[in-house]
Amino acid sequence: MDEKIYLDNAATTYVSGEVLNEMLPCFNTIYGNSSSVHKFGREAIGIVDRARDRIANVINAEKSNEIYFTSGGTEANNWAIKGIASANRDKGNHIITSSIEHDSVLASCKCLEKLGFKITYLPVDQHGLVSIADLMHQIKKETILISIMSVNNEIGTIQNIKAIAKTAHESGIIFHTDATQALGNLMINVQDMEIDVMTMSAHKVYGPKGVGALYIKNGIKIDNLIDGGSQERGKRGGTLNVPAIAGFGKAVEIAGRDLSVNQQKLKAIRTYFLEKVTEKIPYIHLNGHAQQKVQSIVNLAFEMIEGESILMLLDLDGISVSTGSACASGSTELSHVLKAIGLDEELARGSIRFSFGKSITKAKVDYVIEKLVSAVEKLRNISPLTKTGRAKKQDNKK
């Protein structure tokens, strides 16, 4: 197979043709500043308003003016955590989040700790789930915010968002969720799920990089992160990136439109991939939840070998996968998510994330399986761990 096979869609996706077509005129035809009052400006604001409507519609926001554009998921998470903390400080200084959040949430919380806020990082079980009982136990009268991601980017586990939101609201606490990996993978209904504030990003759903949004339910108290002009109703300064916003709106509209078709396809692909891989490769484990997970992410731990080595061998065969999240890969630190679900160092280092996207086919999966089987065999043949230990031990047990 000459083709390159991209299995790193949780890191980012390509920009789809429909999205690109939506964006192109905004570079050199409809290029006004959306804050200008003349015709060029009005055309640009028309594009922005349409994107806002499309996103509000897909997530079932009550009003489109509850969508605020940002430079991506990272900014939206920073804004949610820091903005809510600062605006509600008179009520308390305690925030609850989980230990498997994206770095943009964890680092924002660390930053608040320096300012005197107290943060509780909830543990998760072996499948990556936060326990509601644990959460209830940690709520104090000073708790002002609960922030729990909808879907984990490394292992794909889906949290019980509605139950978490209800728990927050029973104690009058604001609930934020980072839905960066949920958009396009799950039906999101902010009203039904009782979400107050929600992070989104375009480049995980076939939109461009560097644009995202924060859904802020009207009435939620939140301070600005980026001060400037009157853009985004005075809540987020900076000239709007109209082409990116146009693409984001289109990408979300398509994600909503094609959700069930895409999910059916990915479910079949995932089931087939897992069946074949477990049949052909011994000593592997599925990281994450077997049922409560998105179809697009499969994270596997391979005993006795390093994930980095598998990644490099697959790369030579034109297959792109990742170890952990894109932001953390390249670092020698163990994934905080794999640590939190209780993996020992060997399994955490032996883990690979395969994240499937729209262009996957059964033929591509067959090729990936063939190359994966051979990479694992090759590496296990030369692995010092094979000789000293576990494989032999397990064999003896049989």
In the complex, least distance from residue 79 CB atom to ligand PMP, rounded to whole angstroms: 12
Which CB, 120 or 153, lies closer to ligand PMP? 153
Q: Region of 172 please: left (phi>0), alpha (psi -120 to 50) or beta.
A: left
**Interface residue with ligand PMP, options 26, 149, 242, 360 (CB under 6 A):** 149
Catalytic residues: 327
Binding mask 285-324 for ligand PMP (x = CB under 6 A): ----------------------------------------
* Least CB distance to ligand PMP at residue 106 (A): 10
Give the count of residues interacting with ligand PMP (CB under 6 A): 17
Query: Binding string to ligand PMP for residues 168 to 207, with x set by CB under 6 A, is what?
Result: ----------x-xx-------------------x-x----
- Spatial separation of the C-alpha atoms in residues 25 and 22, rounded to whole Å: 7
**Cα–Cα distance measured from residue 289 to residue 157, given in angstroms and rounded to the nearest whole number:** 6
Torsion on CA atoms 63, 66, 70, 73, rounded to nearest 10 = -100
Counting contacts by CB under 6 A, is residue 167 touching ligand PMP? no
Supply the angle between the helices 259-280 and 362-382 in degrees, to the nearest 10. 30
247 binds ligand PMP (CB under 6 A): no
Shortest distance, CB of residue 200 to ligand PMP, whole angstroms?
Answer: 9
CA dist 99 and 18 (Å) reads 37
Beta carbon nearer to ligand PMP, 127 or 169:
127
SS3 state of residue 175: strand
Residue 212 touching ligand PMP (CB under 6 A): yes
Residues 77-106 that bind ligand PMP (CB under 6 A): 77, 102, 104
Q: Which long-range contacts (CB under 8 A, 24 or more apart) does 357-362 make?
A: 357/6, 357/7, 357/9, 357/13, 357/296, 358/13, 358/16, 358/206, 358/262, 359/6, 359/14, 360/7, 360/265, 360/266, 360/269, 362/269, 362/272
Which chain residues interact with ligand PMP by CB under 6 A? 72-74, 77, 102, 104, 149, 153, 178, 180-181, 201, 203, 212, 325-327
